[in-house]
Every structure is written in C-alpha cells, then in structure tokens.
Amino acid sequence: MRKILLGTTGVVGAALIGMGAAQAQTAPTVRVGGYFEFTGGYIDDTQDRNAVVIPNSGGRTVSRDKVDFRSDAELHIFVTGKAANGLSYGATIEFQIDNMVTNTGSQSGAGTGVDTDEVYGFVSSPTLGTLRFGDEDSAASLMAVSVPGPTQLGISASWDEFVAQAPDGNRYILADINDGNDATKIIYLSPQFFGLDFGVSYAPNGREGEEYRSVAGGLQRDPTDSIRNELSGAIRYRGSFGNIGVTAGFGAMRADAQDNAVNLQDITQYQAGLQVSGFGLTVGGMYSWGKFAGVTRAALLPGRDNSTNYALGASYAIGAFTLGAFYGKAERDNGPIQADRTQTLWGLGAAYTLAPGLELFANYTNVKDRNIALGSGVLAPAGNGPGQRDRDIDVIVVGTRLAF
C-alpha cells in the first residue's frame, strides 16, 4: 500500500467542505495482518571473544556463543471506513512481540512482551492527500529512496539483531534518514501528480504515545529530555520510460537539540536516493549527510563536523528467486584530535518465495567498525576486541518469513 500524507487541519476542512457530492458511505471495517519471522544466525564478532566473565571464577572469561536463534512477529490491525462525501478515515495499530528489556537491563518476564510499533489515525482524499496523526515514521523516512535488496539484506537489516552493542551503545550507525522513528507526530502525504509526490511531518519532541516519564525537570515536555520541534519533509518521483522504471527522492529533517550545559548543536539531516529498474534488475543507492551523531536524530557536541552515510546495491528477480548485494559506509566525527569513526559494510543474499506470503531467505554481512568512541566522546581503548575501539563482524543469517 502506497504511503501518502496530509499536512494541516485546514486542508482536512477543505476536503470536508469541497467534496459535496454524496457517495456511498461504509461503516468502519477491521482487517488483521502482520508477519512472523524465524531466523538463525552464525556470528563471528571480535567483541565476543573472551567478553563474558564467569561468576566466582576469579576473573576467568569465555567468549559468547557463535550460534543463535531469533523469532520476531507483529500483529497489525487496520480499521477503514468511508464518509458520504468520499473521505476515507481509519486507524492502524501495530502490535510487536519483542524480547523486551527493562530499564535496569534485566529480562522482562519471559522476554515475550507485547508493545506497539506504529499507532496512528488517518483521513484521506484521493485528490487532497492523507493526514496521519499518531506514532508513525516521519515523512522523510516514509518516502526515503534507498538501497534495493531481497528480504532482510541491507545496511541495518537482520545482521544487527545478532550482535552485541558497541562501547558507545550503537550496534550500527549506517542507516536511512530518521531510521524509522515513531515519535508522536502529524504527517501529511500528498497525492501523486505527474509522478511527483511530497510529504511533511512535525513532532514536538522525541517521545511517543503516552510516554510521560519523570525526568529531572518533570515530563517529556522538559526541554532537557529529548530533541524538540522535529520537522521533516520529502519529495519523490516515480515514473517509467519504456521498460525502465525510475524512483528518485530527496528528504530532509531538522530539530532543536535538547538543552544541555555544553550547548549541543541543533540537528539536521538530508538524504538523496535513486533507483533504476528493468528486466528484473534494480540498482540504486543513497547518500545522507548532516549534523547528527550516532545512528540519526542525536545532537552533536559543539565543534563536531557533519556525519555522512552512503550505500549502493542491486537486486535481481528471476522467477521465485531474488538475489542481491550491497556496499555502504558511515563516518562520524570523533573530535578535532581523534580519528573519525567509520563503519563499512558489504553483504549478499537471496530470498525464495515458497508460497504466497511465505519466503525463505539467507544472507551474509561483513562489518568493519573503526575508532569506536565511548559515551563521553573519548575513543575506546586501543585494540580489536571486547570494549575496544575496533571491531570486525561476520554474520550469516538463514530464516523464514510469513506475511499475512
């Protein structure tokens, strides 16, 4: 389903007034969808070597196991109706089954708690666009044009679910703009005109849902708690020239940094992407840059330079098979006297459609992470191992996904 949006309550009012011709209205109906995924991974990670201290052993260490299984599932509820004037309305609620971890780091219950992913309402007109309101990705994230590939192969796909966090708390730093953040927001997505569409979104802070939490100054409205006034926008073109399809897009976001004694820089990020497809082959990539730290949407310390991401990839579909490969690199400024952090990835994989909605997939990803910094911004200790500044990872993932 194409994701499209709408921007102000004034536009919605115009839609309600302007669509005067009576049409057949329908009461809200409910449809259930979602997915279940099971994966197995083989992980060779230098940060796993002698990374765990055996209790009451006098400091003896062992490495983490190399093999693991993982399951993931979401249940989606789609509510849709149509008013007499032709305006569509409804809501989407996505429940995700996570291995939830408490703030203290301990496992929560059986590790199979249920929380929400996207939760939003919408009103939509085929001529005026769609307004979404709730916990949903930003406009730039929804409309981003990035690297093509088969199921679960990509710059931040299934490989990172199997690896431990780096000393700075990030498993990966190469990602698309906004990385799917679901802060509560208002989003407008336009209809498509001559192949072009656009979107805008606004979130007052970085929290989502009813996440009113106690912080030093009170609630999530506290300006020291999270980024604020996050604006996002994107424009996209989709068209074809004979047997060749072209998708191109540009997205941007900005936000006020949270108040901090060191005067963090306000956040900006931009992304340009292009995909060209034909005869079963799709090639494409993205380039992202701006004043952000970590993965995305985090404020830079004063004096730090821009961050950059880029990635290129290709996929080829032949019958029930899809094959793909990608290469990408991210760079982050560690300060004026320290080497920049770089994370370089490449991978290849395949997916096979066994039956409608049922896929089998396998992929391999290689990661080289250099000059990892601690949370304070100081480089981690020299070396290539647990808690150290360099890291090499090889991950093989095999799995199945049922979408319904």
Render pLDDT for 261-319 as a digit per residue (tens, 0 to 9): 889 999 999 999 999 999 999 999 999 999 999 999 999 999 999 999 999 999 999 99
CA distance 134 to 183: 8
Does residue 107 register a pLDDT over 70? no
Beta strands 61-62 and 52-53, pairing class: antiparallel
pLDDT at 9 (0 to 100): 38
Does residue 104 register a pLDDT over 80? no
Does residue 185 register a pLDDT over 60? yes
Beta bridge partners of 132: 122, 187
Render pLDDT for 222-241 as a digit per residue (tens, 0 to 9): 888 889 999 999 999 999 99
Does residue 108 register a pLDDT over 70? no
Mean pLDDT value of segment 231-257: 98
| CATH superfamily ID and name for 9-403 | Porin (2.40.160.10)
Closest CA to 367 of 399, 326, 316, 324: 326
Q: How many CB atoms lie within 10 A of CB 347?
A: 23
CA distance 47 to 166: 8
Residue 213, phi then psi, degrees to nearest 5: -120, 160
pLDDT at 99 (0 to 100): 60
Beta strands 267-278 and 244-256, pairing class: antiparallel
pLDDT at 1 (0 to 100): 34
Q: Output DSSP code: residue 164.
A: P
Who has greater pLDDT, 223 or 100?
A: 223
Mean of the per-residue pLDDT values of the chain: 90
CA distance 283 to 133: 34
Distances (CA, A) of 277 to 60, 147, 181: 54, 12, 28
Who has greater pLDDT, 110 or 152?
A: 152
Does residue 6 register a pLDDT over 50? no
